[in-house]
């Protein structure tokens, strides 16, 4: 099975973590995802995943793979892995660097829904992350807000 999409990036980390979140859900999560990430590879709330990353060296490697269904766990040499869930009411995700904005915007081929997310981390000469996403279910009715873009027009 091959991924539907692969995105690779080098990220410059300033504040010890980066976020993966829905494009329009940027109001924060009252630090829920950061608290959940303490001592973990990543932490999650409904619309946001926080990934702790070293600020030294300040550049990390990120590979993001989007799959049609849940992939088998990557058998690479990883120091840690955590599986989470992310609600995506717009069908677009942003990899966000604190104080630097969006490093990448990713249109998910399967669009709106609840996604399974697996975050792998390894520390070698540089810190590297592999994030795998796959569509799991439609959004719950409370999340399925068709008016996400409505505030642009009012």
CA dist., res. 146 & res. 91, Å (int): 12
What length does the chain have? Answer: 154
Q: Which residues pair with 139 in a beta bridge?
A: none
Domain count, the chain: 1
Q: Considering only the C-alpha atoms of the chain, give the largest distance between any 2 of them, rounded to a whole number of Å.
A: 50
Q: In what order do the strands lie in the sheet with 80-88?
A: 5-12, 59-67, 127-137, 113-123, 80-88
pLDDT at 3: 96
Nearest to 23 by CA among 151, 149, 154, 116: 149
**pLDDT tens-digit map of 42-94:** 999 999 999 999 867 778 999 999 999 999 989 889 999 999 999 999 999 99
Which residues span the domain enclosing 32? 5-152
| Higher-pLDDT residue of 119, 126 | 119
CATH number at residue 12: 2.60.34.30
**pLDDT tens-digit map of 100-118:** 667 788 999 999 999 999 9
pTM of the model: 0.86
Q: Using CB atoms within 10 A of its CB, is residue 139 exposed (0-12), middle (13-18) or buried (19+)? A: middle
Average pLDDT estimate for 128-148: 81
Q: Binning pLDDT at 50, 70 and 90, where does residue 30 land?
A: confident
Name the region of 113 (left: φ>0; alpha: ψ -120 to 50; beta: rest): left
């Amino acid at each position: 099975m091959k991924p539907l999409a692969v995105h690779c990036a080098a990220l410059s980390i300033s504040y010890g973590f980066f976020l993966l979140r829905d494009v329009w859900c940027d109001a924060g999560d009252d630090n829920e995802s950061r608290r959940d990430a303490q001592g973990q590879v990543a932490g999650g709330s409904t619309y946001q995943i926080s990934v702790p990353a070293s600020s030294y060296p300040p550049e990390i490697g990120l590979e993001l793979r989007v799959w049609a269904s849940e992939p088998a766990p990557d058998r690479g040499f990883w120091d840690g892995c955590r599986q989470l869930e992310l609600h995506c009411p717009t069908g677009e995700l942003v990899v966000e660097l604190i104080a630097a904005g969006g490093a990448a915007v990713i249109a998910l081929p399967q669009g709106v829904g609840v996604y399974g997310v697996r975050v792998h981390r390894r520390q070698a000469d540089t810190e590297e992350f592999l994030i795998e996403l796959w569509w799991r279910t439609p959004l719950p009715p409370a999340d399925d807000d068709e008016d996400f873009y409505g505030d642009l027009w009012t």
